[in-house]
Amino acid sequence: MPLRCSLAGGSFAHSVRWFVRRSRSTDAPAGRDTNNDPQTTKSAFMKCRLLALLLAPVVGAAVLLVAAGCDTYQPAGVDKQYVVEAYLRAADTLPPVRLSRTAPVEATYEFNKQAVSNAEVQVRRVDVDDAPPVGYVERADSAGVYRPAELPSRPEGAGVAQPLARYRLTVRPPAGDGIATEEVTAETVVPDTFGIVETSGDTLTWRQDELRATLTQSQYPGRRARFIVATTALAPSRENLTPLAARILDRAEGEEVSINELAVTESPVINGGNYELSPRGTLTIDIPWLVANFYGPNEIAIRALGDNYYDFVRSQNVQQGGSTFSPGAIPNVIERVEGGTGLFGSYAGATYRLRVTRGDSGGL
């Protein structure tokens, strides 16, 4: 439902708090797909860290609309909700699940402060009969982070995210937590795996050479694959900044943007349906040079997105100003979680290394 003059007191506030948090996680080294979790490794820096800057005029305009008397709406308090977060990677072990609460509108969201312990968590494949659920246990060293329980015996493949399979997450929060929710559920269909057949080169000149990758197909029910490309600089330094990234850093002075945060960037969604398949069934995608913020060695991670992940990313882009919506009619983020909020997503991934060099004009 589009947001109108009630922008100040609805689920928009939840989305802002959660998106900002997603840029601040330090659970894993930057850029690595540790624990199958691309977002909590800061891979969405440009989307998440700059969200507050991009949303500031939107929020301000909405407040002015309310103050101007577009109706007699009185901002209501935002009810607390549970937040779930997990990312299944095709053909990899089932990932950790993070469980927390939303923060009050006036507070900064910090996972450690909002983490929820003592919940019952399980993930189960639901597109086949008699698939056993995989129970989760809370990590002793990380409140609110649940991992698959280690069992002496488990059916082969039960602990692995199978390509093209549908999985359901079920979370039963502890009683007496103050949130009137007995169960949080979400489902995701995992994309098929794919591979990188060839690239336009392992050493390329920034913005002068073509940046492309040829891939085998990643199948998905009802549509062609949709990709994002995340780049991790392996030798980030101010001296290695590309001109565009250097300007971003200079303009963001005072906003606590660091070199390490710029080291991990993410492309907009790349629709595989916009590219023709070759006679051998592969497709070659163009990768925007905007994903490379540093000269030198970089790791390129290409991810084919499941529907939940894709819907979340594309609606997040709208929240950040990537649309022609007026400030009072920005749609809510698409989350697909019942009984709470967050993201239970899935993807398939492949990576390669690229060295980015300066051109004759210094990369300009």
Does residue 284 form part of some domain? yes
How many CA atoms, within 13 angstroms, populate the side-chain half-sphere of residue 121? 26
- What pLDDT was estimated at residue 54? 27
pTM over 0.75: yes
- What pLDDT was estimated at residue 321? 62
Does residue 363 form part of some domain? no
| pLDDT at residue 43 is higher than 60 | no
The letter for the amino acid at 70 is C
What is the Cα 194 distance to its own chain's centre? 20
Q: Indicate if the alpha-carbon torsion angle 28, 33, 34, 40 is positive or negative.
A: positive
Q: Are 310 and 273 in contact (CB under 8 A)?
A: no
Run of H or E including 63: helix 51-67
Q: Which residue is listed with tokens 């850029």?
A: 31
Choice among 1-10, 193-202, 215-224 with the minimum mean pLDDT: 1-10
Burial 90-117 (b: 16+ CB within 10 A, else e): bebebbbbbbbbbbeeeeebebeebbbe
The letter for the amino acid at 264 is V
> How far, in Å, CA of 223 to CA of 314, rounded?
16
The band of 255, judged by pLDDT with boundaries at 50, 70 and 90, is: low
| pLDDT at residue 189 is higher than 70 | yes
Does residue 340 form part of some domain? yes
Looking at residues 337-359, what average pLDDT do you find? 97
More confident residue, 154 or 139: 139
Does residue 1 form part of some domain? no
Q: What is the mean pLDDT of the chain?
A: 80
Angle between helices 51-67 and 11-22 (to 10 degrees): 160
pLDDT digits (tens, 9 = 90+) for 128-144: 998 999 999 999 999 99
Question: Both tokens of residue 2?
Answer: 């589009």
In 10 A of CB 128, how many CB atoms?
9
For the chain, what percent of residues have pLDDT higher than 70? 72
Distances (CA, A) of 228 to 161, 266, 290, 300, 332: 20, 7, 12, 10, 21
Choice among 130-144, 250-264, 282-296 with the minimum mean pLDDT: 250-264
In 10 A of CB 294, how many CB atoms?
25
Does residue 364 form part of some domain? no
- What pLDDT was estimated at residue 151? 73
In DSSP terms, which residues pair with 341 in a beta bridge? 83
* Beta strand spans in the chain (E): 82-89, 97-101, 120-125, 134-138, 145-148, 166-172, 184-189, 196-199, 203-205, 212-215, 226-233, 264-266, 270-271, 283-286, 296-305, 341-357
Does residue 362 form part of some domain? no
- What pLDDT was estimated at residue 14? 41
- What pLDDT was estimated at residue 267? 93
The band of 333, judged by pLDDT with boundaries at 50, 70 and 90, is: confident
Q: Are 224 and 307 in contact (CB under 8 A)?
A: no
Does residue 42 form part of some domain? yes
Does residue 2 form part of some domain? no
The parent domain of residue 292 ranges over: 7-150+157-357
Among 279, 154, 305, CA closest to 227: 305
Residues 6 or more apart whose CB falls under 8 angstroms from that of 151 comprise: none
Number of domains the chain is built from: 1
